[in-house]
Amino acid sequence: MNKLIYPLTFILFLHCTFKIENCSAQWVQMSNGIGTDKIVHALTSNGSYIFAGAEGSGVYVSSNNGTSWSQTSLDSLNVSCFAVSGNKVFAGVNGSPNASNGVYVTTNNGTSWTHIGLGTQDIYCLNVFGDVLLAGGYGVYLTLVAGGNWTLTSYNDQVISSIETIGSTIFAGTPNNPSCSVHRSTNNCITWSETALYDKEVSSLAALGNTNFVAGSSRGVYISPVSGSLWTSAGLSNDTITTVITMGSNIFACTLGNFPKGSPGVFLSSNNGSSWRNRNQGLSFYTLVPEVLTLLIVNNYIFAGTMSYGSVYRRSYSDIIGIQNISTEIPSAYSLSQNYPNPFNPKTKIKFDVPVDDPEGTPRIRGNDRVVLKVYDELGKEIETIVNEKLNAGTYEVTFDASKYPSGVYFYRMQVGEYNDTKKMILLK
């Protein structure tokens, strides 16, 4: 038997080593051209190009989803952040000598870069707000995306680590304010007011839909409505958060692994922080789980920039959120299958099909259909969103975990455009 197992294991190893796309069920190093020793602080995308900002070696670019990277002409500075508007990619620089900090811009995907100011400022974050470019250094600065002079806003006495916007509301977070950790402006940065988050050393902010902000801090994750009047702890409170990003109802948070209770890596919550899942499978450099500093979701992948150990990793987005594509055949119509097992305790699987053409035969644009799968209790109250993603054609399977719900009858409903279907399931504990 051993003579059969060893060759088969070796074949599977080669299959995963040389066919990266076959290993999407875990994180895979994407270090060709960028190396494994870079400290990658920032990731962004523009069209078919992905950009990585590294400490001491500037900006790298990939045009094939990270399979290979090339260094751009901005090649020796500490790039900490990006922002994108149209064909412009902005890069923020800090910790560099000779007034070479500040903000740079490229309009040709990194072939050339132009320094557009704030050369004596360490820049830690950028954000495009309509036709305005916001920069976080020692205070919040602004200029027009089209170009012009920089203006220091009235929030001018703290290091700004993150800026995020929803509608006309701007949140700015700081890692070193002994009192208020996040400030808010609703009048284009003319005035700023304190929100209700204090003494948390905020590293990252993200918008959660159109109604809430998420903050990553030295004491875990917090969520607030746009008003900023109430911040609620959303878990991972034993750890320092390096970055948070969102996609639909999914929140991703990266942790440093604080001693003794914390653990490093990437965590996912699909229920506003009520529970978190470790998503570190394959995220390792020899025996180490690298510290992840930045995340990017694009082209149905999630990318991670790390602290030296591997530089950049990639994973299938559908896989990381628990949506498994389980067949190579392309369905001809939408369908929602009965969960199995049923009755169940406490987990069950739900399978569904997404076709190339819709049920009426109209061609779809692949990857452009938002599939929504929700669970309701016996009274019709929505209790959980399992899927809220744009998916390519295929047959998918997700797991519903009802550990926190009582025994009873539940319903799950799938909706894609005009298609919808509902089925019943029974939880028996």
Residue 91 has pLDDT above 60, yes or no: yes
Task: Identify the CA nearest to 130 among candidates 188, 82, 209.
Answer: 188
Read off the pLDDT of residues 145-196 as tens digits, 9 standing for 90 and up: 999 999 999 999 999 999 999 999 999 999 986 778 999 999 999 999 999 9
Read off the pLDDT of residues 293-328 as tens digits, 9 standing for 90 and up: 999 999 989 999 998 788 999 999 988 988 888 888
Residue 259 has pLDDT above 60, yes or no: no
Q: Which residues have a Cβ under 8 Å from the Cβ of 361 and sit 6 or more positions away?
A: none
Give the max Cα distance, the chain.
74
Q: Are 258 and 265 in contact (CB under 8 A)?
A: no
Residue 283: CB atoms within 10 A of its CB come to 24
pLDDT at 360: 55
- Percent of the chain past pLDDT 70, that is, above it, reads 90
Least confident of 137-146, 257-266, 402-411: 257-266
For strands 369-376 and 408-416, give the pairing. antiparallel
| Domain 324-427 in CATH 3.90.470.20 | no
Q: Select the more confidently predicted residue: 389 or 137.
A: 137
- Whole-number Cα distances in Å, 52 to 41, 106, 235, 317: 8, 14, 29, 18
Please state the domain extents for the chain: 27-320, 324-427
The token pair at 10 is: 């070796």
Which residue type occupies 33? G
CA angle 48, 54, 58 (to 5 degrees): 80
Q: Select the more confidently predicted residue: 2 or 220.
A: 220
pLDDT at 179: 75
Work out the pLDDT band at 262, boundaries 50, 70, 90.
low
The token pair at 361 is: 């035969």
Q: Select the more confidently predicted residue: 30 or 369.
A: 30
Burial class for 402, CB neighbours closer than 10 Å (0-12, 13-18, 19+): buried
Work out the pLDDT band at 292, boundaries 50, 70, 90.
very high
Work out the pLDDT band at 370, boundaries 50, 70, 90.
confident
- Percent of the chain past pLDDT 90, that is, above it, reads 70
Work out the pLDDT band at 3, boundaries 50, 70, 90.
very low
Residue 330 has pLDDT above 80, yes or no: yes
Q: What percent of the chain is helix, strand and coil (3-state, nearest 5)? A: 5, 50, 45
3-state secondary structure of 34: coil
Q: Are 421 and 361 in contact (CB under 8 A)?
A: no
> 27-320 belongs to which CATH class?
mainly beta
Burial class for 428, CB neighbours closer than 10 Å (0-12, 13-18, 19+): exposed
